[in-house]
Amino acid sequence: MDTFWEFFAIAVGLLVVLGGLAATFLRGRGGATKELPREQPTRPTGSAPSAPAETSERDDAGSVDTLPAPSEDSTVGDTTVEETLPPATVPDLDRPEAPQTRLQRLRARLSRSNTALGKGLLALLSRGDLDEEAWEDVEDTLLTADLGVEATTELVDSLRTRLKVHGNADEATVRGWLREELLTLVDPSMDRSIASSRVEGRPAVIVVVGVNGTGKTTTVGKLARVLVAEDKDVVLGAADTFRAAAADQLQTWGERVGVPTIRSDREGADPAAVAFDAVKGAAELEADVVLIDTAGRLHNKVGLMDELGKVKRVIEKQSPLDEVLLVLDATTGQNGLRQAEVFSEVVGITGIVLTKLDGTAKGGIVVAVQRRLGVPVKLIGLGEGPDDLAPFDPAGFVDAIIE
């Protein structure tokens, strides 16, 4: 009996000891959780962290800082913020065609439009044994092509002499003679360069004038493209303040090739003041050249021509004029010559721009206008495309019209 109670007492004691040890162990684990900081996991450099749930950490003052999950626009690994932002808006600029390639493309158009002057003459001269009636036909062909009476007489006399000396000739020989004589009349010795570079530390100043309907504003825009293709810094001046859409039209041309336009926001503003501001602005921008568009005006309107003279004088108070280009419609033929004379008297023309030369067989106007004014044709327009304006090449012109 005594042995039973001894075993019972020992079993109870063991249970008490084990219970105490278990309680102590559990209390020890709870204390460690409060006392030991939780170790933060590390991540490799450049790897993307996982998005943690929002947590709260209380500082010494008892405030709570909320840590939001990173947004999709944040920098993650090799991805930068800029890649997720919308791209900057950059206007698409036209790339004007180089003047050299324009001449090659436009030559075919010129040859098709001047068959009367080229092929017509070749057909007549290649007959052989030309009588007086045949020579009259040659003269009529030249006059119809607007070559002018004086130039026509010179050309016919020279061709008569060649035929007398050499006798009848085949078409190839006649073509060579005709090319030489026409090239002499067109006069390749004339300076046809455009003032487009800075002069003594200032921009070159080009003023463009002409009568209504010659395509003057369009020509200014196309000329800007020619100069931009030559890597020139260009500024446009919208001094045509009478036609409501003129400034907008010119600005549109400029924007296509990244060229600024200086204009007045007030319709009917003083064109001389706008021209003055354009030259001043171009100087401040350190541009190579400033192109000034003026309002179209009839040559027989004295008041309008006097106004054009004022524009010239006001510009010259700030800078000399390096070019005054007269835009002529080639389809007007001899009628445009009187216009050219009046403009030359008022503002001193330095060069001619012949537009719409592809729409006429009157290529002789090139010779006639040069002789009348004593200034060269510098640019020709052969179409309505933005790059259908090209520097005038005498040899290329003659070759095109006799092909």
Q: Per the annotation, where are the binding residues for GTP?
A: 210-217, 293-297, 355-358
Asked if 329 contacts 365 with a C-beta cutoff of 8 angstroms, the reply is: no
Instruction: Identify the bridge partners of residue 326 per DSSP, sorted by sequence position.
Output: 209, 352
Comparing CA positions, the residue from 317, 351, 306, 99 lying closest to residue 208 is: 351
Q: Which residues are annotated as a binding site?
A: 210-217, 293-297, 355-358
The Cα diameter of the chain in Å comes to 171
Residue with tokens 């003594």, as numbered in its chain = 200
Measured CA angle at 36 (ends 31, 39), to 5 deg? 140
Structure tokens at 42: 């590390």
- What is the CB neighbour count within 10 angstroms for residue 192? 18
Distance CA 334, CA 148 (A): 8
* Cα gap 106→307, rounded to integer Å: 36
* Nearest in space to 204 (alpha carbons), one of 243, 233, 244, 176: 233
303 alpha-carbon distance from chain centroid: 34
